Amino acid sequence: MIRAATVNDIPDIRAMIRELAAYEKAAEQARATEEQLRRALFGEHPAASVLIAEEDGTGEIAGFALWFPRFSTWTGTRGLHLEDLYVRPHARGSGHGKALLAALAAICRENGFERFEWMVLDWNEPAIGFYKSLGAELLDEWTGCRLTGAPLEELAAHAPAVTHRVP
């Protein structure tokens, strides 16, 4: 079963984020607290949404997908960005990942989103194979970029005076 997350799922979502980070060899980077997740997912201005995959017989949480809308200047339409997709090891191969992705594809269709995009680590062959089996196009010509810590602070220090509005 796939369902929208509730505030009661926060401890499980946080645990799965940490499990995913450990799998991706970056456990020390998964610092989000339950309170941060509560505000980000269920606060006044949610930053993202989460779908939960549950085992049909037991209701045990098997995985999650965290996503948010994005916008394409090229198409002039919104799209969906999948930030995290995770299925717990014991539940893999049972269709939970495909069900989560299918539910997200349905959200795209229902909302007129033209793009459904995500990133995958280049060494994660099981995930790459899974995504290719669904018809996903791997965008080899694009490279992700990130600023954090001191470089982010240094660049921000050079910002002109601008009125900021976070969508």
pLDDT in tens, 5-30: 999 999 999 999 999 999 999 999 99
User: Which amino acid does the sequence have at 132?
Assistant: K
Q: What is the pTM of this model?
A: 0.90
Dump pLDDT digits (tens) for 20-60.
999 999 999 999 999 999 999 999 999 999 999 999 889 99
Distance between CA atoms of 30 and 165, rounded to whole angstroms?
A: 27
Structure tokens at 147: 């600023």
23 is catalytic: no
Choice among 128, 131, 161, 166 that is catalytic? 131
Location of structure tokens 């198409």: 75
